Amino acid sequence: MIEALAKDLQAAFPGVAGFSARNLWRMRAFHLTYRPEQTILPQPVAEIGVAPPEPLADLPWGHNIVLMEKIKGAAEREWYARKTIEHGWSRNVLVHQIEGDLHRRQGKALTNFERTLPAPQSDLAQQVLKDPYNFDFLTLGQGTHERDLERGLLEHLRAFLLELGVGFAFVGGQYHLAVGEQDFYMDLLFYHLRLRWFVVIDLKMGEFVPEHAGKMNFYCSAVDDLLRHADDAPTVGLLLHKTKDRVVAEYALRDVNKPIGVADYQITAALPSDIQGSLPTVEQLEAELGPE
């Protein structure tokens, strides 16, 4: 029936795209997904009885296809729809965020923002950070040092900014601060254009230890005094570690007076050397495939 209907519609509306059998099945799926009895709608919309939830109605058809095909839960689907409209995500970025499980990571970093920042700024700052951060665009081996991690992130700055989220602007790496008669170098410095605060990121290859919070507190104080504009919000610190003990991190942040977050990161492990040796080289693949 669907095949016949698609042919009839294409004949009735020549030159009008979108009436393939596949698209008709998607239209049916859209109706089943968002029909009023399946959806919790605001009362005025529910009374109309025809419109999907507002954020979904505002999305392009291609975005809605992604949401229907990749997400089963209504609440999670609406969360991604609202974020897509809020940040202007393209369809490819939406797919990337869904596959990266952003819904379960956003706002999950361990922070002291509720105590160190005024409301509602504390809530906004909390939602900017996530845990864990996904650095799957990096491939690092066993002997990797923190400088290698930093270098890898800078080499993939576009992907790094996408993972950090909308609003982050890169200021510098190994950013120099002169405090008293000593020189200090912060791993990474960013500025959040929407929330208007500097973000200091410190990278650690190992587990979180309490001393890291003290060092970050110092960095935030220095940036507030040396770089922060009068209209800027307080500087925020983000400690990124391979692992952390949440209880230890909570104790470490309890009496720190600067807003600091602690989160883990995930990276793709490099292939073992014995496996690497068994893989074909680029030249071997080109020779096997032959000329184009």
- Kindly list the averaged pLDDT for each block of 10 residues, start to end, along the chain of length 292: 89 89 86 64 40 64 90 90 91 93 95 94 94 90 82 94 95 97 97 96 94 97 97 97 94 96 84 50 55 52
Q: Is 174 left (phi over 0), alpha (psi -120 to 50) or beta?
A: left
| Residues in contact with 127: Cβ distance below 8 Å, sequence separation at least 6, in sequence order | 106, 107
Give residue 283's pLDDT: 56
Q: Which part of the chain is CATH 3.40.1350.10? A: 105-274
Give residue 195's pLDDT: 94
Cα atoms in the 13 Å half-sphere on the side-chain side of 177:
22
Which fold is adopted by the domain 105-274?
Answer: Trna Endonuclease; Chain: A, domain 1 (3.40.1350)
Tokens of 101: 């499980």
Give residue 31's pLDDT: 82
| Residues in contact with 292: Cβ distance below 8 Å, sequence separation at least 6, in sequence order | none
User: Residue 223 — φ and ψ, nearest 5°?
Assistant: -65, -40
